Homo-oligomer: A and B are copies of this chain.
Amino acid sequence: MVKYQEIANELRNQIQEGVYKAGEQLALEREMCEQYGVSRITIKKAVDQLVKEGLVVKRRGSGTFVKSLANEDVHDISMANQFSGFSKVFEGHKVSTKVVRFDIIHPTAEVAEKLNITTDDFVYDIVRLRQVDGSPVVIEYTNMPIELIPGIKREVLEKSIYRYIEEQLHFKIQSAHRFIRALLPTPEEEELLQIEHGTMPILEVEQVAFLDDGRAFEYAKAHHRGDKQVFRVVSIR
């Protein structure tokens, strides 16, 4: 662990434990330099991390201040803005997966463009129903180029494709570009998600995911039951 992360963690803990309360001013950057025995740029990197997480604001000419956050929001704030696959989000719960479809097809023109391949290439065409603690939560429609992500078997789908990519293929996942919408479920989706007709919308998360060399490796649409998923973001000017 590098210095600026350690300092960021320490400051985050102090805020979450109430050492610094809502609205209070943090120690000055030049003071923290002495306190931690590091240079000012290192302190800046640490505090900038907290700004990105949404815990504090910096004002040139004044100082750094803790945001007036509700108690509940102070504690799980560092989870916002974060990238993670489905299995990761529900760690600790009993997650099961039903593979609804598992084929190889030519991608549509739209998917081909998103993945930077041609419609002559091949992609997996995967549909999975995810259940958490026995209740259906989300349907995931996934396309991945077989050339980039070879060797996917049914047992991989039943666990985590991301874990397979990182642990078996030794790729690193870098980012995801997401579009979020509200939709109504199709009749098939109502059945899979156990929704009584007309009583529940779908939160759609469309995403293109990227490896750390910049290649797009996944085009996916996740259709979440409206009552089971909330998407969280901290937007800074």
Partner-B contacts on A (CB < 8 A): 22-23, 41, 54, 56-57, 59, 62, 65-73, 80-83, 113-116, 172-184, 198-204, 208, 210, 212-216, 224, 226, 229-237
Contact = CB atoms under 8 A, between A and B. Distances in A.
Contact of A178 (B59, B62, B116, B233): B233
A177 B73 contact: yes
B65 A178 contact: no
- Per assembly, the copies of the chain total 2
A198 B198 contact: yes
A182 B202 contact: yes
21 contacts: A41-B41, A57-B175, A59-B213, A65-B214, A66-B214, A68-B215, A69-B208, A70-B116, A72-B113, A73-B177, A83-B235, A83-B237, A173-B237, A174-B236, A175-B234, A175-B235, A175-B236, A178-B235, A179-B232, A182-B224, A198-B198
Given A57-B174, A69-B208, A81-B235, 8 more contacts: A56-B214, A175-B235, A179-B231, A180-B233, A182-B224, A183-B226, A184-B199, A231-B231
